[in-house]
Structure 1
Amino acid sequence: MFRLPALVALTLAIAFAGGAWSASWMLTATSGFGAIRLGSWSAYPDLQTASADPFAKAHRAGDGRILLGRAEGLVFTARSDETGAALSGQCSYEISGSTPPSRFWTLRVAEAGGEPLDAPERVPVSLNSWTTLRNIDGTFRIRLSAAPQAGNWIWLDAPDTVSFVLTLIDTPTAASVSMVELDMPKIEKIGCRDA
């Protein structure tokens, strides 16, 4: 007598729980569709535009952050080095090359969730286009490690995986249709500390 209503209730519970879980997973797994990948770096140029997909809009609403519009700039994130290995807070890296044209850029390290690292006082946790030392040809080399380094250095010491965030401000790159031809900085692992 109660078999049919029990099966209907079980089916509805599974459907609602599965739908809620899959939507939650999708919102934490990606910032939406339409990502561009340039080596280790990825960006979502349409994230703040009216043409953003529904997942990107929901992610943006739930994130609570003010994002750059397409005309304002572009945020690239790297979660792996040139070999495809995940970036670890227990390793040292070198970022070298040049950035796409922009009026100003910043480079910082973030935890897996996107938050800045908790760093000790008086250590550099980011660099920008005004403070970075460059070679004669305009390229740069930035070391990221727990130990201080000569030249351009960003402090990096975290127990888990990290990501590198490169923000280009006021760049023609954001409106370009040929972003796949841009030169992005290369990320090379120098070494890792023993756990």
Structure 2
Amino acid sequence: MDLKPYANYLRAGSAMIAGLAIGLLATVLSLNAGYGFNSLRAGPWTSWPHIGGADIDPYARAVISRSGEAPLGRDQGLAFIARTDSDGAPLDGACDYRIVDPLPAARYWTMTLASPDGRLVANPTERYGYSSVDILRKEGGAFDIDIAREARPGNWLSPGQAQRFVVMLRLYDTPLDIDSTPDPNSFPKIVKLGCA
């Protein structure tokens, strides 16, 4: 029996299966890589200002559909996420950090701790963040926030038992220009104080 005619079918079937596997792998990688294109970076902070508008790209639309989140509209404000400290090291629940102002101009802001997938970090204090209204300020208006498992005086957030976490900064009614690179010096610094 001559198998040569079947060899072409076998090669074509193998190519289709390989193409399908590569396509699925590329889709999974792109859905886990963030919100697609057009990110806005300032030091450790990253925002995707177009995800709340009509010009959202297909990758960002897929990520939002998958997560079920409702992003801020561009006329409402901007949401920034920091996954690393200001030196570029990933945020680690076993380490202590200090977030030091300044902040870009905004009518109102919030800063919260979340898991890498966006859920609030469970902690014994049930304090998940601060806002421009309830933060304790120093003389002159400056502030800092300590992130540590052990209680600290002043503005303190606990990452609980989380191994990894992110810091989310939302700026409401901000004049920040999304078409130019923002000045990293106008964003809070995330300074690692030490690790357990």
**TM-score, normalised to structure 1's length?**
0.91
Residue of structure 2 aligned with 1:112, choices 87, 103, 116: 116
1:79 pairs with 2:83: yes
Q: Secondary structure at the residue paired with 2:194?
A: strand
Aligned residues: 191
Deviation at 1:178, TM superposition (A): 4.1
Deviation at 1:160, TM superposition (A): 2.2
Q: Structure 2 counterpart of 1:89, which letter?
A: G
Q: Secondary structure at the residue paired with 2:62?
A: helix
User: How high is the sequence identity, in percent, across the aligned residues?
Assistant: 31
Residue of structure 2 aligned with 1:135, choices 134, 138, 141: 138
Q: Structure 1 counterpart of 2:144, which letter?
A: R
Unmatched 5+ stretches in structure 1: none
For 1:101 and 1:170, locate their aligned partners in 2 and report how far apart those are by CA, in whole Å. 9
Deviation at 1:134, TM superposition (A): 1.2
- Please say which structure displays the higher CA radius of gyration: 2
1:180 pairs with 2:182: yes
Quote the residue 1:5 is aligned against.
Answer: 9
Residue of structure 2 aligned with 1:145, choices 143, 148, 153: 148
Q: Please provide the CA RMSD for this pair.
A: 1.6
Unmatched 5+ stretches in structure 2: none
8 Å contact kept, 1:81–1:189: yes
Indicate the larger mover: 164-173 or 36-45: 164-173
For 1:137 and 1:15, locate their aligned partners in 2 and report how far apart those are by CA, in whole Å. 61
8 Å contact kept, 2:136–2:154: yes
Indicate the larger mover: 3-12 or 153-162: 153-162
Residue of structure 1 aligned with 2:174, choices 171, 174, 177: 171
8 Å contact kept, 1:88–1:158: no
Residues 106-136 of structure 1: CA deviation (Å, up to 9, x unaligned):
111111222111222x342211111101123
For 2:14 and 2:140, locate their aligned partners in 1 and report how far apart those are by CA, in whole Å. 66
**TM-score, normalised to structure 2's length?**
0.91
8 Å contact kept, 1:98–1:138: no
Residues 137-168 of structure 1: CA deviation (Å, up to 9, x unaligned):
32211001111111111112334221110111
Residues 65-110 of structure 1: CA deviation (Å, up to 9, x unaligned):
1110000011010011111111001111000012112222111111
